[in-house]
């Protein structure tokens, strides 16, 4: 006679479905973690790329701003240079309009020594309004050069008198010595008329 001994205190319970579900949940959680990790990595890479693009755009903007500033400076400098050139042209035109040959010749006649003759006279008008005179003279000897320079230097209308050339003419010439000078010439200003003008002065005389 055989006997079956059952030592279990309670009936047998099958836990395999729980294990299977647990393993499935672990696998699913691992897959989700891997997917999240990939998403996070992609996000970090996209953020880094975006930051690099932003930095590149900011650098391009900085270069563009520098070019704009340089262009503005160049335009301003060009305008200033053009304005300065126009001002110099106007000063030159004013000097030409105000120049009086009669006043210059009369002043030279009073200033030059009697032994010196004027052979050539050429004024040139500078951009800043100054007048430079190129003068050629003839005389009997070389001593007249010093006298001429001294006479022009004493006159306030002539400045920076400089000897350019000197030469001897052909033998037998009445004026054997020739020389040329360059000087800055400032035409004298006309004195201002008194208030009321000449007509007013005449009207007061009765």
How many angstroms separate the CA atoms of 206 and 24, rounded?
135
The two three-digit tokens of residue 108, written as one number: 């030279």
What is the Rg, in whole angstroms, of the alpha carbon atoms belonging to the chain?
A: 52
Beta strands in 4-139 (DSSP E): 117-125, 131-139
pLDDT in tens, 142-185: 889 999 999 999 998 999 999 999 988 776 677 788 999 999 99
pLDDT in tens, 83-134: 666 666 666 676 677 788 888 999 999 999 998 999 999 998 877 778 899 9
Q: Which CATH class is domain 100-185?
A: alpha beta
Query: Contact 127/95 with Cβ under 8 angstroms?
Result: no
Q: Which residue has the higher pLDDT, 145 or 71?
A: 145
Residue 55 confidence class, pLDDT cut points 50, 70, 90: confident
List CB contacts of 115: < 8 A, sequence separation 6 or more: 139, 140, 144, 147
pTM here is: 0.48
136 vs 178: CA distance, rounded Å: 7
Give the rounded percent of residues in the chain with a pLDDT score beyond 90: 24
């Amino acid at each position: 006679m055989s006997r079956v001994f059952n030592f279990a205190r309670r009936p047998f319970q099958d836990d395999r479905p729980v294990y299977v579900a647990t393993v499935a949940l672990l696998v699913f959680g691992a897959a989700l973690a891997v997917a999240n990790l990939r998403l996070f990595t992609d996000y970090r890479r996209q953020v880094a790329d975006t930051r690099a693009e932003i930095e590149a755009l900011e650098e391009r903007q900085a270069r563009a701003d520098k070019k704009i500033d340089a262009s503005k400076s160049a335009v301003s400098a060009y305008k200033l240079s053009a304005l300065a050139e126009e001002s110099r042209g106007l000063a030159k035109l004013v000097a030409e309009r105000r120049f009086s040959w009669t006043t210059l010749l009369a002043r030279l006649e009073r200033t030059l020594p009697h032994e010196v003759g004027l052979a050539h006279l050429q004024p040139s008008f500078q951009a800043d309004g100054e007048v430079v005179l190129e003068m050629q003279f003839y005389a009997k000897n070389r001593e007249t050069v010093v006298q001429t320079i001294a006479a022009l230097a004493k006159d306030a209308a002539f400045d920076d008198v400089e000897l350019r050339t000197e030469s001897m003419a052909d033998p037998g010439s009445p004026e054997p010595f020739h020389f040329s000078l360059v000087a800055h010439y400032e035409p004298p200003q006309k004195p201002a008329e008194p208030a009321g003008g000449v007509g007013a002065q005449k009207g007061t005389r009765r």
